[in-house]
Amino acid sequence: MAFVLNLPKIVPIKGVGTKNPLMRLFLDLFSFEALFVLFLFAGRYKADPRFAFFPVDPTVLFLVASMAIGLILLFQEKIYLPGTYALGIWVVFIVYLWISMVWGVGRSYGREKVMLATVMNTWCLIAGAMIMANSRERVSRFMRLVIMFAFWLGIEALIAWSKQGFRGRILINNGDSYLGFGRVCGLGAIIACAFWATRKGLDFTRIGLMALLGMFMLVLLIGGGRGPLIAGIVPMLLIAVIGWRVSRSGRVRVMKMQIPILIALVGIIGVIVYSFTSPDADLGALATLNRFRGIVSGDLESHSDLRRSLNLENAILGISRAPIFGHGIGSWPIIVNNSDYQDHPHNMILEILYESGLVGLAIVACVFIVLTRKINVHRLRTDPLLLAAAMMSVNVFMNAMTSGDLPENRQVFAMLGLLLVRSPEEEESEDAAEDDDDSSPEGDEPPDIDEEGDLSEFRRLRPRTEERWMQADEPL
């Protein structure tokens, strides 16, 4: 369902379909999706001195660039109504956040936070739900670019790991930590897994996807991020869930794509269990598993563990004091720490409940419902793009439950927006309808009415009509 704006086209909007991988790579790198990926993950590279040549902050630069191209695309292409519905509900939530400043105690951080959420989160929702979801070609290109970006970060992580003796947590690009590159590599692993599992045969592409999946999983194991590892593995279970099918005769059938995923997951879980239970296992090379062992042994070994535990207690206590409307945007650091700086519960749901109450959470839940209403088991089994988008959404949502405030978790709204991707049948019928409209000749349109010419013709014919009637009356 879409709404057409009759505006002139400024630049070509359709990608050139090609099977040449080099040409496709060239088209991918010079696209709206490339600008959006550089904006979405700007935090992963902007501190790197190799990219100091950017005249301004890359986040701002690629935000403005992607918005400029994206707005042109919105004017040129059809407005995707399912994404528009989600945007309308999200705008209600943004307005509610601005109003919450009236009763809230947030000051500097609160104003900055609501401004960033208004601009960046809203733009991520528009880009995902209205621009990319409107075209399967765009969604596919976005996923290819995410894999390319994750591949680069993965190589950087492996190089850093080798330089420090294959031990310890890793920092890359002048300070990007395990949470940053781990989340992106988790997305890369999920996309590779989704397309590997749904692809038939054993061709070069499937072998390449298998190699990428192995590399990304290795990066998650050595990086030190427990959240990114869990958020990378759990979405893959979605393939196992949709793989079971019960026939009318009561037999359970297993889809072929489920078998290799189950084998791989059992292997990974087996390695983790062995590492935890074997006292002789050396986990020094696998920093992530080493940190998990601390939890199993009952030791909260890091400051982040203690802080998350304390945040949970403060969040539950604060929510109980203002459950309906919350304490207002940006109120967490002032109430909890008596300071006005960036701080939050490190959990998106607790953050929304604390600052905007049940009212705010209900509005956000409506946004999620609208974005997920196109999902069903049949499409997940038959549409690799939707399956990958669903797995990516689970991944970013799980990561949002452990760190980041609302503006920092803008990836959630971009990935959720992809869940509205058109089905192949819907896109084919839409293209066929466009072709029919374009093939209609201009001559089929009704000509303009010339009132003066029509009136003169009427006057010219009228005397003849009267004369004919008079001749017909004469024999009578």
Alpha carbon 372 to chain centroid distance? 12
Residue-level pLDDT at 363: 97
Give the Cα separation of 50 and 189 in Å (integer): 26
* 476 residues of the chain, pLDDT tens digit each: 554 443 334 344 444 456 677 888 888 899 999 999 999 999 999 988 888 888 899 999 999 999 999 999 998 887 899 999 999 999 999 999 999 999 988 889 999 999 999 999 999 999 999 999 999 999 999 999 999 999 999 999 999 888 887 777 788 877 778 888 999 999 999 999 989 888 777 788 888 998 999 899 989 988 878 889 889 988 988 887 776 666 666 666 666 666 766 777 777 777 767 766 665 655 556 667 666 666 655 554 556 667 888 889 999 999 999 999 999 999 999 999 888 888 889 999 999 999 999 999 999 999 999 999 989 888 988 899 999 999 999 999 999 998 889 999 999 999 999 999 999 888 887 766 665 655 554 544 444 444 454 444 434 444 444 444 344 444 33
Cβ–Cβ < 8 Å for 70, 33: no
> Packing angle between helix 178-198 and helix 258-277, nearest 10 degrees?
140
Q: Which two tokens stand for residue 131?
A: 């621009």
Amino acid at 240: A
Give the Cα separation of 427 and 418 in Å (integer): 15
Helix (H) or strand (E) holding 245: strand 244-246
Give start and end residues of each alpha helix (H) in 164-284. 178-198, 204-223, 226-233, 237-243, 258-277
Give the Cα separation of 203 and 101 in Å (integer): 57
Give the Cα separation of 208 and 214 in Å (integer): 10
**Closest to 155 in 3D by CA, of 194, 211, 236:** 211
- Per DSSP, the three-state class of 80 is strand
Helix (H) or strand (E) holding 469: helix 451-473
Residue-level pLDDT at 171: 81
The strand pairing partners of 2, in sequence order, are 80
Give the Cα separation of 372 and 353 in Å (integer): 21
pTM, 2 dp: 0.83
Query: Computed from CA positions of residues 289, 294, 295, 300, in that sequence, does the dihedral angle turn out positive or negative?
Result: negative
> Packing angle between helix 384-400 and helix 226-233, nearest 10 degrees?
150
**Closest to 345 in 3D by CA, of 294, 386, 406, 397:** 406
In Å, how far are 6, 103, 409 from 120, measured between CA atoms? 28, 24, 10
Residue-level pLDDT at 27: 85
The strand pairing partners of 172, in sequence order, are 176
The strand pairing partners of 254, in sequence order, are 244
**Closest to 111 in 3D by CA, of 122, 100, 121:** 100
Amino acid at 10: I
- The set of residues, in sequence order, having a beta carbon less than 8 Å from that of 145 and lying 6+ positions away, is 28, 31, 33, 34, 37
Residue-level pLDDT at 469: 35
Residue-level pLDDT at 297: 57
Give the Cα separation of 128 and 40 in Å (integer): 11
Cα end-to-end span (Å), the chain: 67
Give the Cα separation of 428 and 439 in Å (integer): 16
